[in-house]
Amino acid sequence: MLRLSRNPGADTAIKLAAVACAMFAFVFVVMVPLYDVLCDALGINGKTSDIAYTAVPAVVDTSREVKIQFIATNNDGMPWGFRPQVTQLTVHPGAATDTFFYAENPTNLPMIAQAIPSVSPSRAAGYFHKTECFCFNQQPLDGMASTEMPLQFVVDQDLPKDIRTITLSYTLFDVTTMAGGTIAAR
């Protein structure tokens, strides 16, 4: 057995202190990344992947129709106008579909926004692939300006048969003060 001190009490104490430090590190280097990995892998919380999906060649399943609903919400204190182009679309699994969200900054100051998506039912999150999404990046907008923010998605052919409606909800956050750039790192 490794002895770190001639005093057996101090030896035990040093080893236990190392355990305590390891547990502190465990929170940062294991629990946080593990949570993200698990949420991505299992689609928990309706979290969808935040990197673009690379389309695999697939047959469009014209025998099925899935209803896609869009919801746009502003986070607390976010003054932007934010709404989907259409609130509802009907698509076939496997078919790439384009739509956009409309955003306008009614203030006089340039601002930066970040949209966070969530899919409901959460079981569908793993089958809803975004090939292009404004939510992958922050959206800067000058004062009084407006823009159309594109979204392209494919619903997986393997989507469970009992899911006929998928709701995609975006919450728009004001990240102007969060020092643009650093936040996307996490």
Partner 1 sequence: MGDHHHGPAKGLSRWLFTTNHKDIGTMYLWFSFAMFILGGTFAMIIRAELFQPGMQLVEPGFFNQMTTLHGLVMVFGAIMPSFVGLANWLIPMMIGAPDMALPRMNNWSFWILPPGFLMLASTLFMEGGAPAFGWTFYAPLSTTYAAPSVTFFIFAIHVLGISSIMGSINIIATIMNMRAPGMTYMKMPLFVWTWFITAFLLVAVMPVLAGAVTMMLMDIHFGTSFFSAAGGGDPVLFQHIFWFFGHPEVYIIILPAFGVVSQVIPAFSRKPLFGYASMVYATAAIAILSFVVWAHHMYTVGMPVAGELFFMYATMLIAVPTGVKVFNWVSTMWRGALSFETPMLFSIGFLVLFTIGGFTGLMLSIAPADFQYHDTYFVVAHFHYVMVAGAVFSMTSAVYFWLPKWTGRMYNETMGKVHFWISFVGFNVTFFPQHFVGLAGMPRRVPDYALQFADFNMMSSIGAFVYGASQILFLYNVIATIVAGEKVSDEQVWDGAEGLEWTLPTPAPYHTFEVPPKIEATPAHG
CA–CA dist 70, 86 (Å, integer): 7
Binders of partner 1 among 98-127, rule CB under 8 A? 114, 116, 122
The reply on whether position 52 binds partner 1 by CB under 8 A is: no
The distance from CA 122 to its chain's CA centroid, rounded to whole angstroms, is 12
Exactly one of 4, 24, 55, 110 binds partner 1 (CB under 8 A); that residue is 24
Bridge partners of 114, per DSSP, are 173
The reply on whether position 23 binds partner 1 by CB under 8 A is: yes
DSSP state of 51: S
CA–CA dist 175, 74 (Å, integer): 12
The reply on whether position 39 binds partner 1 by CB under 8 A is: yes
CB-wise, 78 or 89, nearer to partner 1? 78
| Per-residue tokens: 86 | 């259409």
The distance from CA 90 to its chain's CA centroid, rounded to whole angstroms, is 23
Question: Which residues are near partner 1 by CB under 8 A?
Answer: 8-10, 12-13, 16-17, 19-24, 26-28, 31-32, 35-36, 39, 42, 44-47, 50, 75, 114, 116, 122, 171, 173-175, 178-179, 182-184, 186
